[in-house]
Structure 1
């Protein structure tokens, strides 16, 4: 099975540098244009369907991609939603580390739970759409945690993902997942920077 995790398009909170998390902020016009532009970069012959997280910005991005690629939208998965940042949501990112040293936000979903939750979504998609080639629209932090969970590297070591960045996964015959690309770059090219960040930590 082939699956690509795609970050949703831009929102006004993304533009303003505000912590978003589970807050259901819609796409802005730039985000819609980003999704439209991404259609031209994706070969519809390589994919069968589109799914998303249940948050509006992901669902709208998925709908734009599906329409442009002439693919069906085949479901929304709660386990693909962004990490819950609790009390920090709505706060400028530039203020986060001052207000919450160590990023210990009240009500925050524990970092250690995010990757496994995202992998549960992959497994659910595999059951629901066995053998399909799936585009899954989700969220930047969630995607980084999933990549970390699957590759054995820290989510924080992964680079920030741009809006509409695509990271491709492949499910092997033994049911394990392999990270093929990160934001469009081959995993082998990303790996040295992951190791460098982890060695420096």
Structure 2
């Protein structure tokens, strides 16, 4: 789901970079020393999860786990994912530097929105287990929609590609939902305090 260098127009790349500065400022605003370890751990989780590729027909999808990362970190999700994306771009050529702002928005904004929805108990319309599933499912759904939107805004010829990207990521939404369901169940039993702020 990463956008590589050279894909976006300069206007979209600059615009998303400016938005990224604001998102990172929000992350740093409430960052406390006691949170640094968990931010680092979630950044590492995102970094590693991105390399778990699942073959599905003629495409491969990969985990991103932004739903669980979002409800654990809240606003610090922007910082955690920024660090992971920067390392992936510089060390592995995964994504890109010019598209770093767009990739951060695509990956972290849905995670933060899911956190807010959970904190405001908007997801309580679902039974408990389905709610855990929807945290993962909706995060990837929103992420895929943002990816398609940014591609479509960048160049008109990317419009068809944006439809294809969305359809290719539908299986990922269900897989992320299931993985998130199991992860939240585990955290609720082993480290329940980690999810208190998101009121999961």
Q: TM-score, normalised by structure 2?
A: 0.31
Q: TM-score, normalised by structure 1?
A: 0.31
